C-alpha cells in the first residue's frame, strides 16, 4: 500500500513551532521560522515556472540558505538533483544533461564554475534568487512515500556517473532506522560539518525535520569550531569520517567533550585501532557505520561496546534492513566466507535515473548488489573488505578509480592506466595512478594537467608510477589488489 504522510516540515512547524531547527553561524531558526522561510522560497519557484514533478539542480555549499531552498524544493514536490560542489564544470555539465534538470539554482560563489558549464540550462544564482518575486505556489500537504524527492550522482566501476533516486520514503525510513538504533533524546542536537550535498549531510536535515531536532550546520569542517560548538550548544551527535575524528582528538589534547555528547557516527570505512582506543580513553562513543548514497545513508552500524572487540566491523544491519553475502552465482555464502554484499530495506533506492538497464542489473528482487566485498562473522557482524569498484574514500568523498582511469586513458600517450588508493594520514586515502606509456615522452605534468581539466580536485592522483605492464587477469580485468601490493613494496608512503 502506498503510504502518505503529512508534509514533514509543515507538520513539524505545527507540532513544535518554537523548537530550534537550525543553527548556522550564530543564527538560530525555529521550526516555525524555517518553515516560513522555506514556504516563501517555495513561492519563488512559481516565478521561475518550476512546477510539481519537474526537476531542478542545485549547486550549494553548507549555508542556512541552502537548507531553506532544499526544503522549499522538497515541499513543492520538485525533484532535486543535489550537485557536488567540488566537481569540475565538465563533470557538472554531464550530470545536468543526464538528469534533464530544467533549472540550475546555484550559490553566487560558484559563478565561475557555472559560467563554464557546457550544457544549455537556465541558471539562477543566489543573488538573482533573492530578487525573485514570490508567486502563489502550492506546497504539498502530503508526501507520497513512493515519490522521488532527491537525486544524487555516484560513479561506479564503469561508465558515467549514475543518478541515485531517493524517495521521501527512503529518507523517512532511514531516519527511523537510525532513531531505533541510536535512540532519540529530547535534547539531541546534531552537528553537521559534512556536505549537505552528500547523503551523509542531507540525511541529517531529514532527521531534523522528522525528529524535531536542531542541526548545528558548519560551512566546512574545522576542528576548533567543532569543539567550540559541541561545548556551546551541548551537541549530542556528530557525523564524521576517520580523518575528521582524528583531527578533533588532536585538537582536544588532554581535554574531553561534554558528557552530554553521546555519539560520533563514523562513516567512510572502519577506524584504525589507535583512533578507537583514543576515543575510548576520552569516553567518546564511536558508532561505525556502513552506508552509501543508494541506502540513503546508514545501513548497518556497530555499537560502541563492540568497537574494539569487533575491530574493523560495520556492525549489523539496522532494524528494518537485511544483508546477504553471495558468491558470483548469487548463492548465499556461509558465515565467515567472503562475497558480494547485498542489501535490502525500505531505505534502499528504487533505482538509477533513466537507467533501467543498470537498475535491473543492480537491484534484483529488491536486493541491491552493492559491488562491495565483505563477510559476516559467526555472530552476524559485517566486515567490509573492499568497497565497490575499489572505491577510494578520501576525506569523506567517494572516488571511483575507473573514472580517473578513463580520463588518463583518453590521453594519446597512455596505453594503460590503473588507479588505487594509497593510505594518507590527512585524507585517509588519496588516489595514485599506475601508467603504461605508449609515448615515451609523456610527462607527469601533462597527465596532471589533463586530470585537472576533467576532474574535481580531490580526485587528482597524488602520484604517478610509470610501469611496463599492469596486472590483469585472463579476462583482462585489472587486478587492483596486485597494484596495492606493488605500492606496499614501494613503502606505502605516498602523501606522508
**Residue 15 or 479 with smaller CB distance to its own copies:** 15
Q: Which of 48, 64, 179, 436 binds its own copies (CB under 8 A)?
A: 179
Q: Determine, following the binding rule CB under 8 A, whether residue 15 of this chain makes contact with its own copies.
A: yes
Closest separation in Å from C-beta 210 to its own copies: 7
**Radius of gyration, CA atoms only, the chain:** 22
Q: List the alpha helices (DSSP H) in 363-463.
A: 401-409, 444-454
Grid cell in block for residue 300: 548497518
Per-residue binding string, its own copies, 212-231, x by CB under 8 A, is x-------------------
Closest separation in Å from C-beta 399 to its own copies: 32
Closest separation in Å from C-beta 87 to its own copies: 31
Torsion of CA 103, 107, 109, 115, to 10 degrees: 0
Q: Determine, following the binding rule CB under 8 A, whether residue 319 of this chain makes contact with its own copies.
A: yes
SS3 category, 263: strand
Q: How many other C-beta atoms lie within 10 A of the C-beta of residue 229?
A: 20
Taking CB under 8 A as the binding criterion, the range among 6-14, 270-278, 353-361, 431-439 that sits at the site for its own copies is: 6-14
> Which class for 320: exposed (0-12), middle (13-18), buried (19 or more C-beta within 10 A)?
middle
Closest CA to 91 of 390, 401, 459, 371: 459
- H or E stretch at 73: helix 64-76
Q: Determine, following the binding rule CB under 8 A, whether residue 324 of this chain makes contact with its own copies.
A: no
Q: Which of residues 245-274 bind its own copies (CB under 8 A)?
A: none
Closest CA to 68 of 205, 239, 271: 205
Closest separation in Å from C-beta 54 to its own copies: 22
Distance CA 223, CA 217 (A): 14
How many residues bind its own copies (CB under 8 A)? The answer is 35
Find where cell 549537505 sits: 196
SS3 category, 418: strand
Q: Which of residues 50-109 bind its own copies (CB under 8 A)?
A: none
Taking CB under 8 A as the binding criterion, the range among 41-49, 151-159, 183-191, 436-444 that sits at the site for its own copies is: 183-191
Q: Which of 79, 198, 316, 480 binds its own copies (CB under 8 A)?
A: 316
Q: Which of 49, 138, 158, 180 binds its own copies (CB under 8 A)?
A: 180
The conformational region for residue 446 under phi > 0 = left, psi -120 to 50 = alpha, else beta, is alpha
Closest CA to 22 of 11, 10, 34: 34
Closest separation in Å from C-beta 166 to its own copies: 14
Closest separation in Å from C-beta 15 to its own copies: 6
**CB contact burial 262-291 (16+ within 10 A = b; e otherwise):** bbbbbbbbbbeeebbebbeeeebbbbbbbb
Q: Determine, following the binding rule CB under 8 A, whether residue 186 of this chain makes contact with its own copies.
A: yes
Q: Which of residues 122-151 bind its own copies (CB under 8 A)?
A: 142, 145-146
Q: Determine, following the binding rule CB under 8 A, whether residue 346 of this chain makes contact with its own copies.
A: yes
**Residue 80 or 347 with smaller CB distance to its own copies:** 347
Q: Which of 53, 183, 258, 274 binds its own copies (CB under 8 A)?
A: 183
Taking CB under 8 A as the binding criterion, the range among 221-229, 291-299, 314-322, 328-336 that sits at the site for its own copies is: 314-322
Q: List the alpha helices (DSSP H) in 299-398.
A: 356-362
Q: Which of 149, 154, 321, 429 binds its own copies (CB under 8 A)?
A: 321
Q: Which of 45, 199, 204, 210 binds its own copies (CB under 8 A)?
A: 210
Distance CA 220, CA 268 (A): 17
Q: Determine, following the binding rule CB under 8 A, whether residue 285 of this chain makes contact with its own copies.
A: no
Q: Determine, following the binding rule CB under 8 A, whether residue 493 of this chain makes contact with its own copies.
A: no
Distances from the Cα of 55 to the Cαs of 73, 91, 143, 202, 351, in angstroms? Answer: 9, 18, 17, 18, 16
Grid cell in block for residue 355: 537507467
Distance CA 310, CA 316 (A): 11
Q: Determine, following the binding rule CB under 8 A, whether residue 14 of this chain makes contact with its own copies.
A: yes
**Residue 304 or 374 with smaller CB distance to its own copies:** 304
Distance CA 450, CA 407 (A): 8
Grid cell in block for residue 161: 556517473
Q: Which of residues 347-406 bind its own copies (CB under 8 A)?
A: 350, 366, 380
How many residues does this entry show for the chain?
496
Closest separation in Å from C-beta 230 to its own copies: 20
Closest separation in Å from C-beta 167 to its own copies: 8
Closest separation in Å from C-beta 8 to its own copies: 8
**Residue 324 or 388 with smaller CB distance to its own copies:** 324
Closest separation in Å from C-beta 184 to its own copies: 4
Q: Determine, following the binding rule CB under 8 A, whether residue 11 of this chain makes contact with its own copies.
A: yes
Torsion of CA 82, 57, 77, 359, to 10 degrees: -60
Closest separation in Å from C-beta 162 to its own copies: 21
Grid cell in block for residue 123: 541558471
- The footprint of its own copies (CB under 8 A) covers 1-6, 11-12, 14-15, 142, 145-146, 169, 173, 176, 179-180, 183-186, 210-212, 316, 319-322, 345-346, 350, 366, 380
Amino acid at each position: 500500500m502506498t503510504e502518505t504522510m503529512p508534509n514533514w516540515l509543515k507538520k513539524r512547524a505545527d507540532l513544535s513551532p518554537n523548537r530550534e531547527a537550525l543553527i548556522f553561524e550564530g543564527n538560530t531558526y525555529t521550526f516555525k521560522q524555517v518553515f516560513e522561510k522555506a514556504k516563501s522560497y517555495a513561492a519563488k519557484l512559481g516565478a521561475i515556472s518550476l512546477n510539481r514533478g519537474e526537476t531542478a539542480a542545485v549547486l550549494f555549499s553548507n549555508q542556512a540558505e541552502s537548507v531553506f531552498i532544499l526544503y522549499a524544493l522538497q515541499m513543492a514536490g520538485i525533484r532535486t538533483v543535489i550537485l557536488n560542489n567540488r566537481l569540475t564544470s565538465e563533470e557538472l555539465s554531464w550530470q545536468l544533461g543526464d538528469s534533464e534538470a530544467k533549472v540550475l539554482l546555484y550559490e553566487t560563489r560558484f559563478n565561475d564554475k557555472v559560467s563554464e558549464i557546457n550544457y544549455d540550462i537556465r541558471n539562477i544564482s543566489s543573488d538573482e534568487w533573492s530578487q525573485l518575486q514570490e508567486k502563489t505556489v502550492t506546497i504539498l500537504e502530503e508526501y507520497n512515500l513512493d515519490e522521488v524527492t532527491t537525486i544524487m550522482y555516484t560513479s561506479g566501476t564503469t561508465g558515467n556517473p549514475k543518478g541515485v533516486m531517493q524517495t521521501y520514503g527512503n529518507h523517512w525510513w532511514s531516519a527511523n532506522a537510525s532513531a531505533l538504533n541510536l535512540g532519540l533524546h529530547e535534547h539531541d542536537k546534531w552537528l553537521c560539518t559534512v556536505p549537505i550535498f552528500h547523503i551523509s549531510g542531507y540525511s541529517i536535515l531529514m532527521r531534523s525535520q522528522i525528529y524535531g531536532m536542531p542541526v548545528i550546520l558548519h560551512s566546512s569542517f574545522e576542528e576548533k569550531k567543532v569543539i567550540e560548538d559541541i561545548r556551546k550548544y551541548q551537541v549530542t551527535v556528530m557525523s564524521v569520517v576517520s580523518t575528521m575524528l582524528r583531527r578533533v582528538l588532536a585538537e582536544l589534547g588532554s581535554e574531553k567533550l561534554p558528557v552530554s555528547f553521546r555519539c560520533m557516527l563514523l562513516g567512510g570505512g572502519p577506524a584504525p585501532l589507535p583512533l578507537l582506543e583514543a576515543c575510548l580513553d576520552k569516553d567518546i562513543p564511536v558508532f561505525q557505520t556502513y552506508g552509501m548514497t543508494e541506502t540513503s545513508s546508514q545501513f548497518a552500524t556497530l555499537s560502541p561496546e563492540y568497537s574494539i572487540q569487533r575491530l574493523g566491523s560495520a556492525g549489523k544491519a539496522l532494524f528494518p534492513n537485511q544483508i546477504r553475502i553471495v558468491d558470483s552465482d548469487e548463492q548465499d555464502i556461509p558465515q565467515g566466507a567472503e562475497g558480494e554484499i547485498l542489501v535490502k530495506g525500505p531505505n534502499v533506492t528504487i533505482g538509477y535515473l533513466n537507467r533501467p538497464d543498470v537498475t535491473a542489473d543492480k537491484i534484483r528482487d529488491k536486493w541491491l548488489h552493492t559491488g562491495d566485498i565483505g563477510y559476516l562473522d559467526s555472530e552476524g557482524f559485517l566486515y567490509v573488505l573492499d568497497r565497490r569498484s575499489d572505491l577510494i574514500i578520501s576525506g569523506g568523498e567517494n572516488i571511483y578509480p575507473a573514472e580517473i582511469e578513463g580520463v588518463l586513458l583518453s590521453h594519446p600517450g597512455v596505453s594503460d592506466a590503473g588507479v588505487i588508493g594509497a593510505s594518507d594520514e590527512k585524507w585517509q586515502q588519496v588516489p595514485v595512478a599506475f601508467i603504461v606509456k605508449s609515448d615515451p615522452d609523456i610527462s607527469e605534468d601533462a597527465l596532471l594537467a589533463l586530470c585537472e581539466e576533467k576532474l574535481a580536485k580531490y580526485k587528482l592522483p597524488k602520484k604517478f608510477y610509470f610501469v611496463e605492464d599492469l596486472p590483469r587477469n585472463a579476462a583482462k580485468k585489472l587486478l587492483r589488489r596486485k597494484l596495492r601490493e606493488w605500492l606496499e613494496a614501494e613503502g606505502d608512503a605516498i602523501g606522508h
